[in-house]
Amino acid sequence: MLDALITSKTRIKILLKFFLNKNNKSYLRSLEQEFGESSNAIRIELNRFEEAGLLRSHFDGNKKFFQANTSHPLFKDIHSILLKMVGIDTIIENIAQKLQDIDAAYLTGDFAQGIDSQTIELIFIGSQLDIKLINGYIRKAERIINRKIQYTHILKNEQKRYLQHKPSLLIWTNEK
């Protein structure tokens, strides 16, 4: 029973790591450190995902790197389910789409790296955002998803410099 619990926890961490942000790549030892779990449990799950075709792998030197197989027919469905599980869909519906002066919204922090967390970190890009309105939407979204939401507001001309060295995932854009 304990083995099933450990591997299911590991399975969820792997799903978050690779399917929340399709650009994430990692190898076994780095996942062992990141997840704080045994390399054997992680290896078993990585092999299962790879055999199912959900993960692709390649070698770089002696390290075997894994990444989500975005061409797998279930990739979009798994990605969508994870967004709902984390509550990002609620954030988009209740915050980003309702704000008129927002150009884009990025997920940063742990979730952008595929790590589950009780805090969702966002970056809103726009000119003159109504902070009072945003705070109201955030409080509402926090109650719905039962997670804390932290945000940073930056101007569009600061976007490249600010996001340059941060893991980030574009979750909404106002561009048509």
User: Residue 90: is its pLDDT beyond 50?
Assistant: yes
> Facing residues of 105 across strands?
124, 172
- pLDDT value for 176: 53
CA-CA-CA-CA dihedral for 64, 70, 76, 81, to nearest 10: 10
- pLDDT value for 2: 35
Is the domain spanning 2-68 CATH 3.40.640.10? The answer is no
Can you state the angle between helices 28-35 and 39-51, rounded to 10 degrees? 120
Closest listed residue to residue 97, CA positions, set 148, 144, 150, 133 = 133
CA-CA-CA-CA dihedral for 79, 95, 125, 134, to nearest 10: -150
More confident residue, 67 or 35: 67
Q: Delimit the domains of the chain by residue range.
A: 2-68, 87-173
CATH architecture, domain defined by 87-173: 2-Layer Sandwich (3.30)
Same fold, 2-68 and 87-173: no
Question: pLDDT of 132-170, one tens digit each?
Answer: 888 998 998 899 889 999 999 999 899 989 888 888 888
- pLDDT value for 6: 41
What pTM did the predictor assign? 0.70
- pLDDT value for 3: 44
DSSP annotation string for 30-82:
HHHHHHTS-HHHHHHHHHHHHHTTSEEEEEETTEEEEEE-TTSTTHHHHHHHH
- pLDDT value for 152: 93
User: Residue 93: is its pLDDT beyond 80?
Assistant: no
Own/partner pairs for 50-59, CB < 8 Å, 24+ apart?
54/78, 55/18
Q: For residue 35, is it left (φ>0), alpha (ψ between -120 and 50) or beta?
A: alpha
- pLDDT value for 121: 93
User: Residue 4: is its pLDDT beyond 70?
Assistant: no
Question: pLDDT of 37-46, one tens digit each?
Answer: 889 989 999 9
User: Residue 36: is its pLDDT beyond 50?
Assistant: yes
